[in-house]
């Protein structure tokens, strides 16, 4: 039996860690996110997890990034060094995504709402120019390392 460490346990969203991977439910946008993560890996952006596929339970599998996450991340951002690093990370992310071309079946924020989730999703042409935003860029959604 595989040991699953529960990281988040909310309705419609249980996130677990198994070894050096994180598993979470597949969502309508998972394929698009995996395409973006593969692009980030290809251009050498080192600060994002790697998309490793879908497991036997139908969950997406991502590499696990070691460090401080969640509420402990707030303490890393409050000083000048943390704010500078935080802003630099966002700039590097935008630079790394500048030439990303979403797949034809990409899912984006838009027209319909997924049951049990606050975000809306839609399909279609992202249209140039593309700025691929994180959508929830904050210390609660980052992993901090020294």
Give pLDDT tens digits along the chain (146 positions): 578 999 889 877 899 999 999 999 998 889 999 999 999 999 999 999 999 999 999 999 999 999 887 777 777 677 888 888 889 999 999 999 988 888 888 886 653 455 554 554 444 555 555 667 777 888 878 888 87
142: its two tokens: 């980052």
Closest CA to 143 of 80, 72, 94: 72
Q: Count of CB atoms within 10 A of residue 62's CB?
A: 20
DSSP-assigned letter for residue 134:
-
Which pTM does this prediction carry?
Answer: 0.82
Residue 144 bridge partners (DSSP) = 68
- In angstroms, the Cα distances linking 113 to 24, 31, 69 are 19, 17, 28
């Amino acid at each position: 039996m595989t040991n699953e460490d529960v990281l988040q346990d909310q309705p419609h969203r249980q996130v677990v860690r198994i070894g050096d991977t994180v598993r979470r439910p597949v969502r309508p946008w998972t394929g698009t996110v995996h395409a973006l993560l593969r692009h980030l890996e290809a251009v050498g952006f080192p600060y994002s997890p790697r998309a490793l596929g879908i497991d036997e339970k139908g969950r997406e599998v991502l590499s696990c990034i070691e460090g401080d996450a969640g509420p402990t991340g707030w303490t890393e951002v409050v000083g000048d060094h943390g704010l500078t690093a935080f802003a630099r990370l966002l700039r590097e992310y935008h630079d790394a995504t500048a030439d990303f071309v979403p797949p034809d079946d990409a899912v984006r924020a838009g027209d319909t709402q997924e049951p049990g989730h606050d975000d809306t999703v839609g399909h279609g042409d992202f249209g140039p120019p593309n700025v691929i935003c994180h959508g929830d860029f904050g210390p609660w959604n980052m992993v901090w390392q020294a």
